[in-house]
Amino acid sequence: MRSSRLPLIFGLILLVGALSLASLVIGPAPITPFKALTALVSDQGSTSIVVRDIRLPRTLLALLIGWIFGLTGAGLQGLLRNPLADTAVFGAPQAAAFGAVLVLYSGLVGALSWALPFAAILGALLSVALVVTVAGRRATVVVLVLSGLAVGSLAGAGTSLAISLSPNPFAVTEIVFWLLGSFEDRSIIHVWLAAPFILAASVLVLSSSTGLRALALGEETARSLGVDVMRLRLLLVAGAAIGTGASVAVVGSIGFVGLVAPHLVRPFAGYDPARTLVPSGLAGAALLLAADCAVRLIPSQTEIKVGVLTAILGVPFFLWVIARRKAELAEMPV
């Protein structure tokens, strides 16, 4: 009836492992894979500093954030029963960025404060709440996308306002570069700031898997099968907002991973939303690790921001999915 998911998950874990190793190896300082692994576990002088303090944090962040983007993307696509769903549909990344920029801009806290992820999570939650309120419970995809676009634009305008009113040009540059999304110059403290939230978001999303299965048949049928649809919605939306907020707070805006990852695994994992969750998370981690390795390999004067690369690759993919499924997307209620 269906193939086992285990070979797929095992293969993806191997891929993520290989890309993590590549991420520890690739950079201006040439380090062999063996030396990189040795430098991780024992003190190898400057090599250990490069591997542990520079490359390990960005590797862990790419892995964690790619995982949560892929996982929440698959969860939201299952919840909205729509292959175009992603946190960006709710304007959540822009709102999270606005929340974080407000905190940075106010000067109350530094870039390494716990207030940053909390502000970003709050921004993401508010944007989702606003989109759901405006679009209503039985919104069509068109209404949902338009509401998300409006909320995202509002948050973007808020961010632009904060930047244009900033009296300090250096702070402006810093915020703008941060908004582009990058793993560059992130320390292990950034990992600790994001990891607990990403873990909590993962638990929330994964706990909704049975409900997502039933939701494939619509809300009414899911309820008749014993699923608490309101709770399911709350779990997923909270998980997505917390995951997005925590990620945006430490690395800025990186889009389209959550949209792309589920599509990459469906040919192998099938379309059951519950069965795509974990493979999508792993595919998201692999994608973001690969993208972060790629920006280090692409020859340029300064490193290309990974958020720019994911957008350049993600937007054509988004358009391709729309072109393929436009007929059924036209009138699909969510």
Task: Provide the binding-site residues for another protein, judged by CB under 8 A.
Answer: 1-2, 81-82, 210, 213-218, 220-221, 223-228, 270-275
- Residue 32 CA to residue 152 CA, distance in Å, equals 43
3-state secondary structure of 155: helix
Min separation Cβ 42 and another protein, Å: 44
* Least distance between another protein and beta carbon 221 (Å): 6
Phi, psi (rounded to 5 degrees) for 116: -65, -55
Residue for token pair 């350049």: 312
* Residue number with CB closer to another protein (38 or 210): 210
Task: Name which of 3 and 106 has its Cβ closer to another protein.
Answer: 3
State the number of CA atoms in the 13 A half-sphere of 145 facing the CB: 14
- And the tokens for 334? 């969510």
Nearest distance in Å: CB 229, another protein: 10
**For another protein, the closer CB: 215 or 309:** 215
Radius of gyration over alpha carbons of the chain, in Å?
20
Least distance between another protein and beta carbon 271 (Å):
4
Q: Nearest 5°: phi and psi at 166?
A: -70, 130
The nearer residue to another protein, 68 or 227, going by C-beta atoms, is 227
Q: Rounded to an integer, what distance in angstroms lies between the CA atom of residue 332 and that of residue 330?
A: 6
Supply the minimum distance, in Å, between the C-beta of residue 324 and another protein. 13
> H-helix or E-strand containing 244?
helix 229-251
Q: How far is the CB of 82 from another protein (least distance, A)?
A: 8
- Measured CA to CA in angstroms, residue 79 lies from 18, 231, 279, 287 at distances of 32, 12, 17, 23
238 and 47 Cβ atoms separated by less than 8 Å: no
Q: Which is nearer to another protein, 1 or 41 (CB)?
A: 1
Under a CB-based contact definition with an 8 Å cutoff, are residues 280 and 66 in contact?
no
